[in-house]
């Protein structure tokens, strides 16, 4: 029997009272009360309406399990808040697809079952991807796929500057490429340094690629990473707009054809293929060579605790249907592109789309933001990190000063230190 008492930190309770009235988009209509042959499913994909390929995929897994799935879609932020509120009211859905950094937030309240309790086998899932759903040795879900970051390039600009993208293997060779591009009259690199989670998301490959750790934001390695970005800005290799750039605005800059490089994600593969110039992509280089760990994006499939534990057998069947090798590939192509979280799924995807090899490799080297047992401390640390990036890029503080302050604030917020 799975029996857990849901506890809710006071800060979270206050937050969900405020946002609980923010309704998401419902594809099914009606309330979410499930009957014996209806299973409730929440996900963060309101853009995929009823009868869309994604909705049909979900419904097919219900049919295979002999039940109907009542699917409701919320935007990402509302979904987490609605899930917390439902747990308080004992009205949790049977299954949720949740952005991976939020899994630890729900797990910390005691509202989630573990994969062991459900009898799910996660031995095939890549450990670096599974880590985003693990706290204190327990695993609270399965990634349905992952996306991450790499470095897109404008092949025309690189050719004109005499730069071979294969020669970019570390920070020094990347900076040399930016210098060559600038000397040839083009613009270097654009990225997202915005003061939100997107800013941290884009900075983390450089931070981790220097060997830095999120428990020590002001380490020499962390300072080196921020000095790299600041150095590019000061040298004119990156535009001042990076300070306020989101990932979308960064991509819009790249599509102008003016920039040699843009840091962006798997989700832009199709857009890059349709650009009016030849594009390519390489993995983000680590400071001294090799591939930098980039943060993983993507959702986990999780199962909230139910008062009627007889429902778990069907819940397990639905989750298993969604996480077969073929199922992972179907999800990958539906979302153009999620990379499957298993070796078998990745091989199957590459058979259909061999051009995605760089992205598969990037995901294999990626890292969950809440990994290293950071759990619910990650958002507190991340806020200080993106604040430090803003401060240094704007010139308000040196990288060392900004990260010293970030570390002090993070220690105060988390009690770590």
Position 238 in a domain: yes
Position 5 in a domain: no
| Residues 232, 168 share a domain | yes
| Residues 187, 334 share a domain | no
Position 263 in a domain: yes
| Residues 54, 24 share a domain | yes
Residue located via tokens 């009016």: 276
Peptide bond into 337 cis (omega under 30): yes
DSSP 185: T
CB atoms within 10 A of CB 140: 24
Rounded Cα gap, residues 389 and 203, in angstroms = 8
pLDDT at 62: 97
pLDDT at 34: 55
CB within 8 Å of 367: residues ≥ 6 apart:
128, 131, 204, 208, 293, 294, 295, 296
Give bridge partners of residue 138 from the DSSP assignment: 135
Position 52 in a domain: yes
- CATH classification at residue 286: 3.40.190.10
| Residues 62, 175 share a domain | no
Q: Which of 204, 160, 158 shows the shortest CA–CA distance to 178?
A: 158
Burial of 52 (0-12, 13-18, 19+ CB in 10 A): middle
Q: What is the length of the chain?
A: 417
pLDDT at 337: 79
Position 4 in a domain: no
pLDDT at 416: 87
Rounded Cα gap, residues 337 and 316, in angstroms = 25
CB within 8 Å of 354: residues ≥ 6 apart:
none
How do 142-143 and 187-190 pair as beta strands? unpaired
pLDDT at 3: 42
Do 386 and 196 contact (CB within 8 A), yes or no?
Answer: yes
| Residues 312, 266 share a domain | no
| Residues 142, 79 share a domain | yes
| Residues 138, 26 share a domain | yes
Rounded Cα gap, residues 99 and 132, in angstroms = 10
Q: Which of 254, 274, 247 shows the shortest CA–CA distance to 336?
A: 274
Range of the domain at 94: 10-146+296-364
- Supply the pTM of this predicted model: 0.89
Rounded Cα gap, residues 117 and 353, in angstroms = 36
| Residues 186, 40 share a domain | no
| Residues 118, 32 share a domain | yes
Do 103 and 132 contact (CB within 8 A), yes or no?
Answer: yes
Rounded Cα gap, residues 373 and 136, in angstroms = 7
Angle, CA of 143, 38 and 83, to the nearest 5°: 50
| Residues 272, 187 share a domain | yes
| Residues 141, 201 share a domain | no
Which own/partner pairs from 342-351 qualify as long-range (CB within 8 Å, at least 24 positions apart)? 342/124, 342/125, 342/126, 343/124, 343/126, 344/124
pLDDT in tens, the chain (417 residues): 454 444 444 334 333 333 332 223 333 333 444 578 999 999 999 999 999 999 999 999 999 999 999 999 999 889 999 999 999 999 999 999 999 999 999 999 999 999 999 999 999 999 999 999 999 999 999 999 999 999 999 999 999 999 999 999 999 999 999 999 999 999 999 999 999 999 999 999 999 999 999 999 999 999 999 999 999 999 999 999 999 999 999 999 999 999 999 999 999 999 999 999 999 999 999 999 999 999 999 999 999 999 999 999 999 999 999 999 999 999 998 887 799 999 999 999 999 999 999 999 999 999 999 998 899 999 999 999 999 999 999 999 999 999 999 999 999 999 987
CB atoms within 10 A of CB 320: 18
Position 396 in a domain: yes
CB atoms within 10 A of CB 121: 11
Residue located via tokens 């950094």: 101
Position 321 in a domain: yes
| Residues 392, 346 share a domain | no
Q: Which of 301, 294, 276, 287 shows the shortest CA–CA distance to 364?
A: 294
CA atoms within 13 A on the CB side of 304: 29
Q: How many helices (H) and strands (E) does the chain have?
A: 18, 11
Q: How many domains does the chain have?
A: 2
Rounded Cα gap, residues 214 and 204, in angstroms = 9
Burial of 302 (0-12, 13-18, 19+ CB in 10 A): buried
In Å, the largest CA–CA distance within the chain is: 68
Give bridge partners of residue 405 from the DSSP assignment: none
């Amino acid at each position: 029997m799975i029996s857990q008492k849901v506890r809710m930190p006071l800060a979270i309770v206050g937050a969900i009272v405020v946002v609980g009235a923010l309704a998401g988009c419902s594809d099914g209509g009606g309330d979410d009360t499930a009957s014996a042959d209806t299973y409730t499913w929440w996900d963060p994909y309101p853009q995929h309406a009823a009868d869309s390929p994604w909705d049909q995929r979900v419904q097919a897994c219900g049919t295979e399990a002999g039940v109907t799935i009542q699917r409701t879609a919320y935007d990402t932020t509302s979904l987490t808040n609605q899930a917390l509120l439902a747990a308080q009211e004992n009205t949790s859905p049977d299954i949720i697809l949740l952005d991976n950094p939020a899994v630890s937030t729900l797990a910390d309240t005691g509202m989630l079952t573990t994969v062991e309790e459900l009898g799910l086998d996660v031995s095939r899932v890549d450990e670096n991807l599974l880590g985003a759903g693990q706290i204190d040795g327990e695993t609270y879900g399965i990634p349905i796929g992952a996306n991450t970051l790499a470095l897109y390039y404008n092949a025309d600009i690189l050719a004109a500057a005499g730069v071979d993208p294969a020669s970019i293997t570390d920070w020094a060779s990347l900076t040399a490429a930016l210098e060559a591009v600038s000397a040839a009259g083009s613009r270097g690199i654009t990225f997202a340094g915005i003061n939100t989670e997107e800013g941290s998301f884009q900075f983390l490959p450089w931070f981790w690629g220097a060997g830095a750790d999120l428990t020590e934001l002001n380490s020499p390695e962390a300072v080196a990473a921020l000095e790299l970005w600041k150095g590019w800005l000061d040298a004119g290799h990156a535009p001042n707009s990076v300070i306020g750039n989101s990932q979308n605005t960064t991509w819009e800059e790249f599509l102008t054809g003016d920039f040699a490089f843009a840091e962006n994600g798997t989700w832009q593969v199709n857009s890059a293929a349709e650009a009016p110039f030849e594009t390519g992509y390489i993995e983000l280089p680590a400071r001294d060579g090799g591939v930098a760990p980039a943060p993983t994006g993507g959702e986990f499939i999780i199962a909230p605790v139910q008062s009627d534990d007889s429902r778990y057998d069907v819940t397990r069947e639905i989750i298993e249907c969604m996480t077969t090798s073929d199922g992972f590939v179907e999800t990958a192509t539906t979302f153009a592109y999620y990379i499957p979280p298993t070796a078998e799924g990745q091989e199957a995807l590459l058979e259909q789309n061999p051009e995605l090899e760089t992205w598969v490799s990037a995901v294999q080297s990626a890292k969950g933001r809440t990994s290293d047992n950071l759990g619910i401390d990650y958002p507190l640390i991340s806020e200080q990190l993106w604040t430090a990036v803003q401060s240094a890029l704007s010139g308000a503080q040196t990288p060392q000063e900004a990260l010293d302050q970030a570390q002090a604030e993070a220690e105060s917020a988390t009690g770590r230190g």
